[in-house]
Structure 1
Amino acid sequence: MQCYEAILTVTKNDLDDLNHVNNVSYVQWVQNIAKNHWLQKASKSILDTYFWVMVSHFIEYKGEALLNDVIKLKTYITKSEGVKSTRIVEIINERTNELLAKSETTWCLIKSETKKPTRITQDIKNLFLK
């Protein structure tokens, strides 16, 4: 399985009233890295033909992130069958290597023309195996 990574730094806008990263920011990071991974791997033809929608989202919080922490986001696909794909995102403190949160999301592939779920092609599966 192919892994995609990104680095970000926690900003004031990411914080909640307790001065640690807000749950909404974690969800946004999960969505952003999934989108960026897709945009990096897919051809223009595939991007013009398909898009993904999130069907379900589970996140387990294991630690806290604070202002100016450098965060590594690591994502990979664990399963792609039928119209759905399962993506894992690990959110890690870059300095300490502590796992702060782990997310499992289920995404559904949609055909742009019909706006209906469509089977994941082998070409799309292959994008995430390389």
Structure 2
Amino acid sequence: MSTIFDLKIKVSPEHIDVLGHVNNVVYVSWMQDVATAHIESLGLGIKQYLELKHAMVAVEHQMQYRKAALEGEEIILRTWLHDINALYSFRQYAFYREKDQTVLFTAMTKWACVEIATGRPKRLSPSFTQAYQPISEALNPFDFTTLYLT
């Protein structure tokens, strides 16, 4: 069973745009960073993708920017898997400011399995379906009183 995964970061000057807050494209980069860290922690990361000759690739993002993140703030990048079927897995994200638990950004990504050599879609192998399980319905990923740091 997969669980909630948190990654703590500090907003750096290179994350800031001309308007003085984190640039929109940085959030997409953070989505990839936290998803990659999460799959690595589940034991089915990039190295295993290459060995298996297939990988998960993003095919759709839905994002909502809720509040600005500013330089120097400590941010928790939270992610979890919320659904999986034979062709896709669905990952959600909630990025929040640690000091006051304000949600800054939420998103969902639809991931598809592809053969690395051809880029063609592939049904999820048992390796993926066993490692990438949705979180328990008993967990509330928007309860920020618990950190899931590794």
- Answer whether TM exceeds 0.5 for this pair: yes
Deviation for aligned residue 1:61: 1.1
| Runs of 4+ more than 2 Å apart | 43-47, 111-115
Deviation for aligned residue 1:128: 3.1
Unpaired segments ≥5 residues, structure 2: 136-150
Aligned to 2:87: 83
Partners of 1:83 and 1:39 in 2: CA distance: 21
Higher strand proportion, which one? 1
Deviations 1:30-56 (A, max 9, x none): 011112212222175455212121101
CA RMSD of aligned residues (A): 1.8
Partners of 1:47 and 1:127 in 2: CA distance: 16
The farther-off stretch of 28-37 and 43-52 is: 43-52
* 1:107 equivalent in alignment to 2:107: no
Partners of 2:41 and 2:50 in 1: CA distance: 10
Deviation for aligned residue 1:126: 2.5
TM-score scaled by structure 2?
A: 0.78
Partners of 2:88 and 2:121 in 1: CA distance: 9
Aligned to 1:37: 38
Instruction: Please say if residues 48 and 112 of structure 1, whose CA atoms lie closer than 8 Å, have aligned partners that are also in contact.
Output: no
| Structure-2 change in CA distance of 1:76 and 1:47 (3 Å) | farther
Aligned to 2:138: none
1:25 is matched by which residue type in structure 2?
V
